[in-house]
């Protein structure tokens, strides 16, 4: 097969062998890459917090859920567009694979333009609606507006990286991410410390790094994968392919949007508690993003594993895969909790002055509550991604609805009554409630797939 001959070393077929080995071999580069991504995000925070000030730090933090809503929705759309690519790779259908790639490029270009215009225009209004404190509003607006101007770069990187991963290559996006992480840190230092650009410098550095990552992935695809060198016929508009891409991509984007709306409502409630609460959550989220990223990243590997095995008709491997992931989730969750208990305060001091005792204490409590529920988080990401890879995107989207319900209850009822203590319950409650839906949903999807393939009567 041309796919194997042209890129055998880079691509990984996950339709045979040990599910644990297949998923871990694919996941490790992703985890390393995500850790680097979080590290350069932490450098942003450290530099801003130390050299621009705590209000600037809180300003960036107050945009976190808004940023998450838009950027992860774009990421979800791109990941959804890659599901048919992974399925066609598993089915060994090179013609359809190329046509799905061409359709994904066309749709992503349109969506990137529309989303950028709409979101940039709405930035100020949304920040006001979120009760962003006046003493940090200007910082928040300057930072997030520039980030949103870079949405086309987000689409470029995530679509190209998702296509590469759909073919089983998780190492190449890692290499480019490491390179651009270093670039981001360098630009942070230049723009903030030397050019005194403040939070705007941090935003510009992030956009440039994202764009560079996307261009590197695009260049690599053209050089490395002849199978993805699109022909004129591949660009012909095919309504069925476009509909299938939208059926996968739009619900995945909406799934992240639904989850993010809950986070947005929670952020508004946190903002109402004042700048100290915002700073606590900002610092805590940076540590959680680093320690929780292996669990979040595992979902990318599981989606590719699920897509390839679904395309190959190997449904029994899906159940074996989720069991293998469960072992990893339990072991890692215990390790992450230990790190939080032993090193939580020293890590927080990277962002905060030792004299900010209230902020440090609140952030530590916030972190510990999340670490205690990392097992439910691991199952949310793995079960949801397995269902997505099987093609049941609407079921995965409904898990986001359950997460949002939990966060809305905490934000609108518990936080006004109990203050910051209730903030610590938001994410854990969302993960547990999502699992209540996802576990039976996964079992049901497996039964449907087996029935479709005649494996059960």
Are the CB atoms for 430 and 403 separated by under 8 Å?
yes
352 secondary structure, DSSP code: S
- Asked if the model's pLDDT at residue 421 lies above 80, the reply is yes
Average pLDDT over residues 178-187: 83
Give 176-212 as a DSSP string. Answer: HHHHHHHHHHHHHIIIIIIS--HHHHHHHHHHHHHHH
Are the CB atoms for 93 and 285 separated by under 8 Å?
no
Average pLDDT over residues 190-194: 86
Instruction: Work out the end-to-end distance of the chain between its first and last CA atoms, rounded to an integer number of angstroms.
Output: 34
pLDDT tens, position by position, 80-98: 888 777 777 766 777 787 8
- The tokens for 342 are 């032993």
Higher pLDDT, 396 or 285: 285
Distance, CA of 7 to CA of 164 (rounded, Å)? 11
- Asked if the model's pLDDT at residue 25 lies above 50, the reply is yes
Give 94-137 as a DSSP string. Answer: HHHHHHHHHHHHHHHHHHHHHHHHHHHHHHHHHHHHTT--HHHH
The least confident of 28-32, 157-161, 397-401 is 28-32
Predicted confidence at residue 4, as pLDDT, reads 44
Confidence of residue 334 (pLDDT cuts 50, 70, 90): very high
Predicted confidence at residue 110, as pLDDT, reads 92
Residue percentage of the chain with pLDDT more than 70: 91
Dihedral sign for Cα atoms in the order 272, 275, 281, 282: positive
Are the CB atoms for 401 and 258 separated by under 8 Å?
yes
Confidence of residue 5 (pLDDT cuts 50, 70, 90): very low
Distance, CA of 101 to CA of 223 (rounded, Å)? 16
Confidence of residue 115 (pLDDT cuts 50, 70, 90): very high
Distance, CA of 178 to CA of 168 (rounded, Å)? 19
- Asked if the model's pLDDT at residue 248 lies above 60, the reply is yes
């Amino acid at each position: 097969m041309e796919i194997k001959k042209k890129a055998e070393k880079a691509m990984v077929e996950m339709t045979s062998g040990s599910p644990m080995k297949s998923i871990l071999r694919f996941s490790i580069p992703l985890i390393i890459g995500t850790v680097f991504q979080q590290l350069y995000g932490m450098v942003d925070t450290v530099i801003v917090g130390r050299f621009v000030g705590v209000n600037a730090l809180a300003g960036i933090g107050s945009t976190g859920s808004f940023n998450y809503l838009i950027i992860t929705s774009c990421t979800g759309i791109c990941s959804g567009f890659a599901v048919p690519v992974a399925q066609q790779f598993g089915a060994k259908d090179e013609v359809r694979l190329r046509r799905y790639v061409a359709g994904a490029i066309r749709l992503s270009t349109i969506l990137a333009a529309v989303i950028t215009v709409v979101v940039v225009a709405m930035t100020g209004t949304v920040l006001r609606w979120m009760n962003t404190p006046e003493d940090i509003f200007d910082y928040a607006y300057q930072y997030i507006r520039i980030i949103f101007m870079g949405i086309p770069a987000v689409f470029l990187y995530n679509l190209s990286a998702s296509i590469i991963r759909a073919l089983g290559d998780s190492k190449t996006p890692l290499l480019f991410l490491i390179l651009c992480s270093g670039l981001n840190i360098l630009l942070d230092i230049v723009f903030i410390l030397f050019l005194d650009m403040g939070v705007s410098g941090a935003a510009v550095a992030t956009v440039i790094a994202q764009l560079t990552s996307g261009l590197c992935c695009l260049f690599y695809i053209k050089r490395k994968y002849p199978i993805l060198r699109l022909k004129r016929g591949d660009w012909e508009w095919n309504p069925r392919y476009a509909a299938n891409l939208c059926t996968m991509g739009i619900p995945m984007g909406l799934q992240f949007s639904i989850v993010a709306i809950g986070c947005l409502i929670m952020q508004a409630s946190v903002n109402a508690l004042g700048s100290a609460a915002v700073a606590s959550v900002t610092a805590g989220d940076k540590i959680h993003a680093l320690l929780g990223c292996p669990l979040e990243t595992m979902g990318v590997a599981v989606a590719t594993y699920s897509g390839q095995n679904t395309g190959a008709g190997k449904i029994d491997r899906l159940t074996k895969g989720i069991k293998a992931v469960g072992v990893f989730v339990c072991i890692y969750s215990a390790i992450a909790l230990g790190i939080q208990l032993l090193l939580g305060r020293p890590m927080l001091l990277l962002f905060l002055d030792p004299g900010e005792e209230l902020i440090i204490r609140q952030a530590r409590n916030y972190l510990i509550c999340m670490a205690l529920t990392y097992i439910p988080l691991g199952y949310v990401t793995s079960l949801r991604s397995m269902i997505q890879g099987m093609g049941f995107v609407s079921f995965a989207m409904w898990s986001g609805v359950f997460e949002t319900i939990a966060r809305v209850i905490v934000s609108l009822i518990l936080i006004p009554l109990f203050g910051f203590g209730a903030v610590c319950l938001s994410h854990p409650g969302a993960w547990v409630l999502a699992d209540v839906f996802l576990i039976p949903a996964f079992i049901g999807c497996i039964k449907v797939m087996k029935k479709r393939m005649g494996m059960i009567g």
